[in-house]
Amino acid sequence: MSSTEIEMQTPDSAGIFGAALSLWQAFRKAVEGNPRLNLSECYNGMDQFMREIMRVANLFEAWACKHVAFEELIEIWPYFLEEKFGETCLELVLLDGLMDFDEDDCLRAALRLRLPIRPNSSFHLPIDIKVDNPLVGSAFCAFRIQTAREELEGGCSKPFTPDDDPFDPEMGKPYFQLYGVGSDGTLEHIANRGSYEEAISLAEKLAPGVEFPSTSAIRERRCRKNHV
């Protein structure tokens, strides 16, 4: 499949159905057996709840068609969404919060689902990759590049992972930390760089021949979109 064909993918009704069914099941399960929780009251009627489910399912499928590298996926997309999407959304919004689900939440959900996302200048993606050191006798058996962010108040550095909020207002812009990895797994911080490519360049100077994958090659392979 060419890059043009990938970019021109259109929303799949099976994916929309899988996401909607998953939301329905997850939210219904969350209120089961608790008389204090009522989805009808949360959404001014079950018909409005179903409309919000369909809105979110359509929104996420449309977002995924723009940003997810479906050619890298190994599971069948509608079934994957049916199994995972609803529970993932419940980690992001309250029971009465589906109406607030937007494109930022699409990215949050995609990261938590570990979907392979194409690089995009409008948002930052977490990276954590380790490769072997080709130099024999070096103090490091491997090198690791990981995204990190600093708290805007306090300046404390923290790893930026797929489970973190990519739009956290309390965190600064992600940068890239290069570590040397000892034979016992101990990490030694070498330097910070503003981009993944700059971190790779430094690693190559320290260990000629070290092979970090390109950005497009490091995304985790999770599932395959099935348009039939």
DSSP 8-state code for residue 118: P
Amino acid letter for position 34: N
What is the band of 146 on the pLDDT scale with cuts at 50, 70, 90? very high
223 located within any domain: no
9-42 burial, b if ≥16 CB within 10 A, otherwise e?
A: bebbebbbbbbbbbbbebbeeeeeeeeeeebeeb
- Which residue spans within the chain are E strands per DSSP? 128-132, 142-150, 157-159, 175-181, 187-193
10 Å CB burial of residue 118 (0-12, 13-18, 19+) is: middle
In terms of Cα–Cα distance, which of 59, 64, 103 is closest to 80?
Answer: 64
Q: Give the pair of three-digit tokens for residue 38.
A: 């009522």
Tens digit of each residue's pLDDT (9 = 90 or more) over 85-99: 999 999 999 999 999
- Indicate whether this model's pTM tops 0.85: no
- Rounded CA-CA distance 226/76 in Å is 6
Q: Is residue 224 part of a domain?
A: no
84 and 20 within one domain: yes
What confidence tens digit (pLDDT) does each residue in 34-84 have?
888 899 999 999 999 999 999 999 999 999 999 998 988 888 999 999 999
Q: Residue 40 falls within a domain, yes or no?
A: yes
Same domain as 163, residue 87: no
Alpha-carbon gap, residue 32 to 50, rounded angstroms: 17
Q: Which whole-number Å values give the CA distances from 81 to 64, 149, 192, in the listed order? A: 11, 30, 37
Domain with 72, as residue range(s), is 3-112
For residues 83 and 132, membership in a common domain is answered with no
pLDDT tens-digit map of 15-47:
999 999 999 999 999 999 788 889 999 999 999
Same domain, 108 and 187: no
Q: Is residue 139 part of a domain?
A: yes
